[in-house]
Structure 1
Amino acid sequence: MSEPDPVWTERTVVRDGVRLVARDHGGDGRPVLFLHGLAGYGGEWDATVAGMHGRHRVVTLDQRGHGASERRPPGGDMSRPAYMADVIEVITALRLDDVALVGQSLGGNTAMLVAAARPDLVRALVMVEAGARGMDARDVDRIGAWLGSWPVPFGSLDEAARFFGGGPAGAGWAAGLEPRGDGWWPRFDAEMMVRSVAGLVRPSFWNEWRQVACPALVVLGESGIISLAEQREMASARPGTAMVTVPGAGHDVHLDAPGALRAVLTGFLERRP
């Protein structure tokens, strides 16, 4: 596995009073913007993007409510339209012209919605362990219960990694915690995460998926959460969509197999005109 790029520049964009923070890894090539999943942060992409700045302008974003960005946006707005507007503002403010969007899980949904709504901005879409089905209230309750089960503060990063299941993904989740005087805490408020998931409560996003006009790649973990039926329906709804399964990876493909994911991404992006 390549080591993460050691140098990046923090960029701050403010939209409607919401502070959005990104890691700009630089690069002179065509831009790629990475969007993390629920309860994540931009730094979890570091191992995946290592070396990509040699051919791309690489930026990873802490989305609203996450990481170094605004922890509690005004009015607690964690809606899908708010996430979308943030991404569009970052693309514009950082001059990420003709951008490729790469998003995992919740970030993949955001990337898809932006690609569907703004084909003038997005040249390629990569959805990592993200599909087109919606959620229901039971999903929100389940995720809320999981977040509420975190035994915070964690006494150490090793303790946190074990709680998150160990292995590369467990270590990756632990690395997203922030140190305080009494231990290690999440870089988010659980209430804001539940509101984020609530924005996915609808029957499906099939209409938006069909509206995506740019080339698209769906990356799946071998033991991920996107069902075979959903995979087939996504392929049927958009003929020509590329689909790749990463062996040995779960839902957090970028944490389980960053090198393999990087190879898949660069192969896809460099074939785009």
Structure 2
Amino acid sequence: MTPSSAPSPWSERFVIREGVRLSARDWGGSGTDVLLLHGLAGHAGEWDATARLLRESGYRVVALDQRGHGASERHPGDVTRAAYVADALAVIEELGLDHPLLVGQSLGGSTALLAAAAQPALLRALVLVEAGPGGGNPGVQEQIGGWLDAWPVPFPSLDVAAAYLGGGKQPVGDGWARGLEERADGLWPRFEPDVMVRSLDEISSRAFWDEWAAITCPTLAVLGQGEQGGIIGGAEYAEMVRLQPGLRGASLPATGHDVHLEQPATLHRLIVGFLGDLTPSESSEPSESSESSEP
């Protein structure tokens, strides 16, 4: 676990909102601004491969550690959906992101969706990675809490952590393991399990279809279609399309919930192609791509 001596390709930026410190990885770059939001129990570093590719393609890229995660405030009192959304909007304002593309995976996708509904004129476009407006699953908190409590921490090494957290998929395990904190006795999560569980309070009790219907910016939904499947079922996706007929959709075979870790190059191509299809004022009809299929 020897730290690398190579210079970091990103700089750490901080935003303070109502006393809560938020940490972001600013990859720099020019062109269209992009803000990346990770999922529950995740961290900004999960986006490193995608962020690097986007910057190399001429975008200015920022990845946020959401409240309760990573290098951001670990014990925030407020973990409502509204607090997560307000954080994202504050980062956009404080870091000077101009009409950005907002990309969110899983819980970060929920944050992105609600931000797009709350500030429809603020964003250039929206990309949801394994995320949608569905909710109302009262058992999800017990399920997630049990999973987090079962982690055999501390992990003795990155390899052991990656093997456990990846479920046999090395890119996924490596991505999760990079978010761990090194202490004298091993590697520990950089979040509190109870904060993660409380962050799901609203998602466990209701869906967000009204907010979804209120979105006016162009939107791309990227879904995993691996053996274990993604979290967006056919019925939910069909309702998403019914309420937003202009929705573009791409499903990636042999890919699970962590699309951004398993296939960052494919995700990068989808994002660049999506943005390239947009007109200055509105979206165009979706085009077929070799990576896409009907979700």
Category of TM-score, reference length = shorter chain: over 0.9
Q: Percent identity?
A: 55
Q: Any stretches of 5+ residues in structure 2 without a counterpart?
A: 1-6, 281-295
Paired amino acid for 1:36: H
- Structure 2 residue corresponding to 1:238, chosen from 238, 244, 248: 244
TM-aligned CA deviation for residue 6 of structure 1: 5.1
Who is 1:148 aligned against? 149
Paired amino acid for 1:163: Y
Contact 1:78–1:199 (CA under 8 A) maintained in structure 2: no
Contact 1:35–1:62 (CA under 8 A) maintained in structure 2: yes
Contact 1:84–1:114 (CA under 8 A) maintained in structure 2: yes
TM-aligned CA deviation for residue 137 of structure 1: 2.2
Secondary structure of 1:240's aligned partner:
coil
TM-aligned CA deviation for residue 271 of structure 1: 2.2
Contact 2:138–2:205 (CA under 8 A) maintained in structure 1: no
Q: Distance in 1 between matches of 2:194 and 2:128?
A: 25
Who is 2:172 aligned against? 169
TM-aligned CA deviation for residue 247 of structure 1: 2.3
Who is 2:183 aligned against? 180
TM-aligned CA deviation for residue 49 of structure 1: 1.8
User: TM-score under structure 1 normalisation?
Assistant: 0.95
Q: Any stretches of 5+ residues in structure 1 without a counterpart?
A: none
Q: Distance in 2 between matches of 1:15 and 1:267?
A: 34
- Structure 2 residue corresponding to 1:32, chosen from 31, 34, 38: 34
TM-aligned CA deviation for residue 7 of structure 1: 1.1
Who is 2:104 aligned against? 103
Stretch of structure 1 that moved more, 110-119 or 261-270: 261-270
Q: Distance in 1 between matches of 2:176 and 2:223?
A: 19
Who is 1:221 aligned against? 224
Who is 1:252 aligned against? 258
Contact 1:29–1:53 (CA under 8 A) maintained in structure 2: no
Number of residues of Structure 1 aligned to a counterpart in Structure 2:
267
Task: Report 1:125-140 matches (<5 A).
Answer: 125-140=126-141
Deviations 1:166-199 (A, max 9, x none): 3211221112111100000001011110111113
User: TM-score under structure 2 normalisation?
Assistant: 0.88
TM-aligned CA deviation for residue 202 of structure 1: 2.8
Paired amino acid for 1:92: E
Deviations 1:64-107 (A, max 9, x none): 0000000001xx21110100111111110011110110000000
Q: Distance in 1 between matches of 2:74 and 2:154?
A: 18
Paired amino acid for 2:32: R
Secondary structure of 2:126's aligned partner:
strand
TM-aligned CA deviation for residue 204 of structure 1: 1.2
Q: Where does structure 1 differ by over 2 angstroms across 4 or more consecutive aligned residues?
A: 270-273
Q: CA RMSD in A?
A: 1.3
